Amino acid sequence: MKKDRMETPPLRKRGQLHITETIAVLFIFFVLVFFGLLFYSKYQKISLAEKQEELLGERAMETTLKTLFLPELGCSKGEAEQEDNCIDLMKLEAAQKTFSEHINDYYFGIFSYANITVQELYPDSARSWTLYDKLKTKTLEDGTVVKDWERKEPTYFVVTLRDESQGRVQYRFGYIVVEVYS
């Protein structure tokens, strides 16, 4: 053992000692910088996800608001103001065709990637109408179309449905589902 110790060159010179000291300081410094960066990137990632969540929620509310006030659907009566939270079923049925035909050239500008469905609850809970459906998708190399969204934010709003198809005004009851994607 004693012999071995004698073979190892001793750190006698002050210069050598300083270099080792500097390397150790630099090593600790870079370790701290690395941990700092790691912590910062993690924090940024979390806050970005939170921001995206907040923006999606905001978009869901805005899209619902826009849908509820669409002149294409509203219950009007001549020059009087439209009834609040009411959908004219005759207009809704006609609007389905118009919306699907102009989804890319106009309505995407209003609703972006979303799905808007009107569901009747009473008296006929089996009736529903899809007003707008635009999903975010991507095409894979093999030609398969798959979804390209991570989050979906659904919003529900109760509405009355005005039905005049029998020659007189009847009110039904339902809700509107607005789902937005990101």
Partner 1 sequence: MDMTPKQGQVEVTFNWVYVLIAGAVILLFFIGLVVRQKAVSEEQLSIEVVRIMESIFTGAGVSEKTKNFIDISGLAEYTLYFGCSNEVGEYGILGTSARAENAIDPFFAPKEIKASQLIVWSLPYRLPFKVIDFLFITSSNTQYIVLGEVPFATEFVNSTQGFNVQHLVSRQEYEQIDPGHNFQVRIIDTVGTTLTAGSGVPLLLQSLGNERVTGVSFGQGAVTYYSKNNENKWEQQGAAVPMVSLDEERDAAKYAAIFVADADMYRCNLKKAFRRLELINEVYGGKENEPGGKIQQLLNYYGGHPESLCKNPLVERQDNLVTALASHQRNAAACRLDASTCTNLIASARALRTANKALAELGDCITLY
Contacts 24+ apart (CB under 8 A), 118-127: 118/87, 118/92, 118/159, 118/161, 118/174, 118/175, 118/176, 118/177, 119/174, 119/175, 119/176, 119/177, 120/161, 120/172, 120/173, 120/174, 121/173, 121/174, 121/175, 122/172, 122/173, 122/174, 123/172, 124/172
Type of residue found at 134:
K
Looking at beta carbons only, is 102 or 136 nearer to partner 1? 102
Which of 106, 149, 171, 173: binder of partner 1 (CB under 8 A)? 106
Smallest separation, CB 143 to partner 1 (Å): 32
Taking the least distance from each CB to partner 1, the nearer of 110 and 135 is: 110
Tell which one of 110, 112, 160, 182 touches partner 1 (CB under 8 A): 110
Residues between 34 and 93 that touch partner 1 (CB under 8 A)? 58, 62, 65-66, 68-69, 71-72, 74, 76-79, 81-82, 88, 90-91, 93
**Residue 102 near partner 1 by CB under 8 A:** yes
Q: How near is the Cβ of 145 to partner 1 at its closest, in Å?
A: 27
